[in-house]
């Protein structure tokens, strides 16, 4: 039913500043700088092999502007939304309704790239609270236009999303929704001895949705992002040269990985950098 993690959303106050910061963190330039006139928002988009990252700010009046302003007021800047992709939104809507869920009508959206006036169009379906479990989440199907791709990525820059992390107070119910209703592949369900917590790993579109048990929460919470690079030492040197705080490199919890934590310029998004070593 859900075919991909289409993109992640970070709500920001100052789009220019956030764009500048994430150019340093990611090592690439945005491929799209646009507006959603009907939503009252503006965005900057960084595109990768398996998903894209959207920096989103209020820019006028509309439901999107109201949402961003509410998030900034209540929670501050940070990771605020996860958007799943579907190749057949009408089929998804029908299946959810047949399973007894009250689902909104499919709506349409348009984005305009201020750099070259290119247009992208899509269809959305917003999910009911019993399916979003406290997250800002919806499903999208792109219908016209596409994001420009970056043909060559330097080894000291991010090339793809390795995993996104969600903290959840109810792991079993999370499985019922994401595996049984949405049809995501649950690759692993383990108890992590290091953190003394149960963890789930869902796989889709060459990335992982990592879910960590947190019984102190009242609802699911988008926590952080892990990005893959080819050369973590070169990445760390580049960030240091650009004035970004980054931790020393250490062995990852997963075998044959090296990791480092980006400690500034992320607009409150916990950010891990990971290199998978060749066996």
Q: If residue 45 lies in a helix (H) or strand (E), which one and from where to where?
A: strand 41-47
pLDDT tens profile 112-133: 899 899 999 999 999 999 999 9
pLDDT tens profile 162-205: 999 999 999 999 999 999 999 999 999 999 888 899 999 999 98
What pTM was computed for the model?
A: 0.96
Domain assignment of residue 164, yes or no: yes
The answer to whether residues 139 and 8 belong to one domain is yes
The answer to whether residues 10 and 130 belong to one domain is yes
The answer to whether residues 118 and 94 belong to one domain is yes
Instruction: Note the pLDDT of residue 65.
Output: 96
Instruction: Note the pLDDT of residue 31.
Output: 96
Domain assignment of residue 68, yes or no: yes
Domain assignment of residue 183, yes or no: yes
Instruction: Note the pLDDT of residue 279.
Output: 54
Instruction: Note the pLDDT of residue 13.
Output: 98
The answer to whether residues 45 and 124 belong to one domain is yes
The answer to whether residues 124 and 17 belong to one domain is yes
For the chain, the domain total comes to 2
| Strands 221-228 and 160-168, bridge-based pairing | antiparallel
More confidently predicted of 115 and 232: 232
pLDDT surpassing 80 at residue 17: yes
Domain assignment of residue 123, yes or no: yes
pLDDT band at 151, cuts 50/70/90? confident
Instruction: Note the pLDDT of residue 24.
Output: 98
pLDDT tens profile 66-101: 999 999 999 999 999 999 999 999 999 999 999 999
Domain assignment of residue 150, yes or no: no
Which domain does 224 fall in, by range?
A: 160-276
The answer to whether residues 9 and 131 belong to one domain is yes
The answer to whether residues 86 and 111 belong to one domain is yes
Domain assignment of residue 155, yes or no: no
Instruction: Note the pLDDT of residue 150.
Output: 86
Query: What distance in Å separates the CA atoms of residue 48 and residue 153, rounded to the nearest whole number?
Result: 9
The answer to whether residues 137 and 183 belong to one domain is no
Query: What distance in Å separates the CA atoms of residue 17 and residue 24, rounded to the nearest whole number?
Result: 11
**To the nearest whole percent, how much of the chain has pLDDT over 70?**
100
pLDDT surpassing 90 at residue 278: no
**To the nearest whole percent, how much of the chain has pLDDT over 90?**
89
Domain assignment of residue 149, yes or no: no
The answer to whether residues 87 and 120 belong to one domain is yes
Burial (CB count <10 Å: 0-12, 13-18, 19+), residue 86: buried
Domain assignment of residue 151, yes or no: no
Instruction: Note the pLDDT of residue 152.
Output: 85
Query: What distance in Å separates the CA atoms of residue 148 and residue 3, rounded to the nearest whole number?
Result: 21
pLDDT band at 1, cuts 50/70/90? confident
Pair of tokens at residue 66: 């109201």
Q: Average pLDDT in the 226-246 region?
A: 98
Instruction: Note the pLDDT of residue 205.
Output: 86
The answer to whether residues 46 and 84 belong to one domain is yes
The answer to whether residues 107 and 215 belong to one domain is no
The CATH number that applies at residue 168 is 3.10.180.10
The answer to whether residues 103 and 178 belong to one domain is no
pLDDT surpassing 60 at residue 11: yes
* Residue 146: partners with Cβ closer than 8 Å, 6 or more residues away: 120
Domain boundary (144, 176, 208) is at 144
């Amino acid at each position: 039913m859900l075919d991909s993690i289409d993109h992640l959303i970070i709500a920001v106050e100052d789009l220019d500043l956030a764009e500048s910061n994430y150019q340093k963190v990611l090592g690439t330039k945005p491929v799209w700088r646009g507006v959603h006139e009907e939503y009252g928002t503006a965005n900057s988009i960084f595109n990768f092999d398996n998903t894209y990252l959207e920096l989103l700010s209020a820019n006028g009046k509309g439901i999107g502007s109201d949402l961003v302003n509410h998030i900034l007021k209540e929670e501050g800047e940070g990771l605020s939304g996860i958007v799943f992709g579907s190749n057949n939104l009408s089929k998804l809507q029908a299946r959810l309704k047949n399973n007894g869920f009250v689902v909104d009508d499919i709506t349409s959206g348009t984005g305009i790239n201020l750099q070259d006036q290119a247009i992208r169009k899509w269809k959305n379906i917003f999910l009911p609270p019993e399916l979003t479990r406290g997250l800002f989440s919806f499903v999208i199907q792109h219908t016209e236009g596409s994001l420009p791709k970056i043909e060559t990525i330097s080894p000291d820059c991010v090339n793809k999303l390795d995993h996104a992390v969600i903290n959840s107070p109810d792991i079993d119910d999370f499985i019922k929704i994401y595996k049984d209703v949405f049809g995501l592949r649950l690759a692993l369900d383990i108890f992590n001895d290091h953190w003394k917590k149960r963890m789930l790993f869902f796989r889709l579109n060459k990335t992982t949705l990592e879910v960590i048990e947190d019984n102190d929460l009242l609802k699911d919470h988008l926590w952080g992002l892990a990005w893959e690079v080819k050369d973590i030492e070169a990445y760390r040197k580049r960030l240091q040269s650009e004035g970004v705080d980054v931790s020393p490199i250490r062995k990852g919890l997963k075998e044959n990985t090296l990791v480092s934590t980006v400690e500034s310029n992320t607009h409150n998004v916990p950010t891990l950098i990971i290199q998978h070593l060749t066996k």
